[in-house]
Structure 1
Amino acid sequence: MINMAIDYGNRGDWLEEAIEESNNQYILQGLALVQKIATPVKVLNINQTTGRITNGFYEKKSTVDYIGVWNGKPLAFDAKETKVETRFDLSNVKEHQYLFLSSWVANGGLGFLIIHFATKEETYYLPYEVLDQYWQDMLSGGRKSIPYKVVAQEEYRIGSYGLIIIDYLSVLDRSQANGSNE
């Protein structure tokens, strides 16, 4: 079990740990199977004494942080954290991540971001369709961020449920029940 108090020096670590613990609970409760995707690394040197990697590089760009299946539907998402209170900067999303989510959704999967506003201690689900709208606008010379008020919709707010610290499946459930493809 992770410590739910936020360590202000390692906020990104907290978010990843909270999602990992939540995913473990989803598996244990038979609700979903979602796993973290490791970035492929080419190892060049290993310290023979400690067994630790001392030199290496990323072989290729990764996809997104998490891939899985829920209610028979494939899902893929990335977890992002920002200290900016008024917006989510699109520069936080790498082009290869956006392109992966775009292809994923075009092929029938559910794609989204989990965005944590660290200073507000608020976490939200952002459907791919909203990300895509702002991404396309950015490519056309428009704004390079998504306003906080767009992200911080009550129906997108992610809460906790028991041992599930980041209960994003509840938001997906509501979204699907409302007939949305998000």
Structure 2
Amino acid sequence: MGTWNSRGLRGSTLEEMVNRTNEWYLEKGLALMQKIPTPITPVKMDKEHRQITLAYFDQRSTIDYIGAIQGIPACFDAKECVAETFPLQNIHEHQVTFMAEFEKQGGIAFILIYYISRNILYYMRFEELYRFWMRAKEGGRKSFRFDELDSRFFLEFMRGCYVPYLDAMNLDLELREELDKE
């Protein structure tokens, strides 16, 4: 079995790391998170190899992952960012709407962002995403900068390849509890 280099993902995508992490969380009994496939309609098939060679998307997907973490409904999207600035156009209005409705139902919604050049992850709480989203809607910046982010929610890969989003979710829950007490 190959070893992981801790200096980065080395060609693997964030999605692969999240999938591996979700399998690990499931094995440990910590969470059940499922990747939501984007619905497609095949147009052309290679019957000999039983493969789809051309397809189109049926509808826009909502988010990448949905499930339950210790009895709490959770959903999140995973994004990669090359620059220091994240364009909000990478998050679609129907996704923000879905996440808002999900939170209204008592769930937790968030976005995981992998800043490639810094090799660091960020857990963006829905509340923070919504603040940036509304700023853009009201005529402000159509992006957010790395230095605008809450330093408490930066994550490093565990053992070089796992995405420790449960740690950030715990902090998210603690902050929500503090707000509820006020």
**Both structures adopt the same fold (TM-score exceeding 0.5):** yes
Partner in structure 1 of residue 54 of structure 2 = 55
* 1:80–1:115 contact (8 Å) kept in structure 2: yes
Equivalent residue, structure 2, for 1:160: 157
Partner of residue 71, structure 2: 72
Compared CA separation, residues 143 and 172, structure 1 to 2 (3 A): same
Letter in 2 for 1:6: L
TM-score (norm 2): 0.88
Q: Distance in 1 between matches of 2:71 and 2:114?
A: 27
Q: In 2, distance between residues paired with 1:108 and 1:160?
A: 28
State the distance in 1 between where 2:81 and 2:160 align: 24
Residue 81 of structure 1 corresponds to which residue in structure 2? 80
Give the match's secondary structure for 1:134. Answer: helix
Q: Paired residue for 1:138?
A: 136
Deviation at 1:98, TM superposition (A): 1.4
Contact preservation (8 Å) 1:112, 1:128 = yes
95-104 vs 67-76, greater mean Cα deviation: 95-104
Write out per-residue CA displacement over residues 4-23 of structure 1, whole angstroms, 9 at most, x where no aligned residue.
5433xx5xx52011100000
For 2:9, the equivalent position in structure 1 comes to: 6
Q: What is the TM-score when the length of structure 1 is the normalising length?
A: 0.88
The offset of 1:162, in angstroms, is: 4.9
Equivalent pair of 2:42/2:56 in contact (CA under 8 Å)? yes
Cα distance change on mapping 1:89 and 1:109 into 2, 3 Å: same
Structure 1: unaligned runs, 5 residues or longer: none
Deviations 1:100-122 (A, max 9, x none): 11111122110110011111111
Q: 1:180 to 1:33 in 2, by over 3 A?
A: farther
Structure 2 residue runs of 5 or longer lacking an equivalent are: none
**Corresponding pairs, count:** 175
> Letter of the aligned partner of 1:174 in structure 2?
L
Cα distance in structure 2, aligned partners of 1:47 and 1:180 = 56
8 Å contact 1:25–1:164 — kept in the other structure? no
Question: What RMSD over aligned residues (CA atoms) do the two structures have, in Å?
Answer: 2.0
Does the 8 A contact of 1:18 with 1:166 survive in 2? yes
User: SS at the partner of 1:63?
Assistant: coil
CA spacing shift, 1:180–1:68, aligned 2, 3 Å: farther
Q: Partner of 1:124 in structure 2?
A: 122
Match of 1:115 in 2: 113
* Cα distance per residue 1:3-55 (max 9 Å; x no partner): 45433xx5xx5201110000000000000000110000111232111111022
Aligned residue identity for 2:144: I
Q: How far apart, CA to CA, are the structure 2 residues paired with 1:180 and 1:114?
A: 23
Q: Secondary structure at the match of 2:59?
A: coil
Name the SS for the 2:118 alignment partner. coil
Which residue number corresponds to residue 24 of structure 1? 23
- Kept in 2, the 8 Å contact 1:22–1:163? The answer is no
Q: 1:149 corresponds to which residue?
A: 147
